[in-house]
Amino acid sequence: MNVTISKIEVKAIDERGALHYFSTNRSGEFLLVYRKAGSVSGQHYHTGKSAGKNPEEMLLVQGTLTMNWKNLGTGETGTVNIEAPSRVVIQANIWHEVKALTDIIFIELNSLVDGSEDTYRL
């Protein structure tokens, strides 16, 4: 699978709002990212040499985005619209870009070091 999207299901909802659960086996520093509507991020791929990018995982906690991707091994391409709350998993050697359709907030389950050691542009 190139890119996997799964909804983060609501566990409880009342007049105060909603509660969602997610779990991860990752630890350490994570990135909390804010992007403005119309912005484009990513436009890169990861080889998988960094554990935090193999695969890359992000939690879209607010907003809507379009993700474009290309499998660098097979040439297969895809486009998917993603609404929060969702978990996105991007396998190694998948070029990807994120276009924010609204203001978005997401958490990357990796550190800046993970990204700097394993990020490549075409």
Would 122 be classed as within a structural domain?
no
Structure token digits, residue 121: 């542009």
The boundaries of the domain holding residue 107 are: 3-117
**Rounded distance, CA 26 to CA 69, Å?**
24
Residue 56 pLDDT > 90: yes
5 Cβ contact partners less than 8 Å away, ≥ 6 residues apart: 80, 82, 86, 87, 88, 89
43 Cβ contact partners less than 8 Å away, ≥ 6 residues apart: 95, 96, 97, 121, 122
**Rounded distance, CA 58 to CA 22, Å?**
12
Would 71 be classed as within a structural domain?
yes
What's the pTM value of the predicted model, to 2 decimals?
0.94
- Rounded mean pLDDT of the chain? 96
Pairing of strands 40-44, 94-100: antiparallel
Q: State residue 27's pLDDT score.
A: 94
Number of domains comprising the chain: 1
CATH assignment at residue 83? 2.60.120.10
Contact by Cβ (8 Å): 51, 25: no
1 pLDDT tier (thresholds 50, 70, 90)? confident
> Phi and psi (nearest 5°) for 2?
-80, -55
Q: State residue 26's pLDDT score.
A: 95
Each residue's pLDDT tens digit, 6-54? 999 999 999 999 999 999 999 999 999 999 999 999 999 999 999 999 9
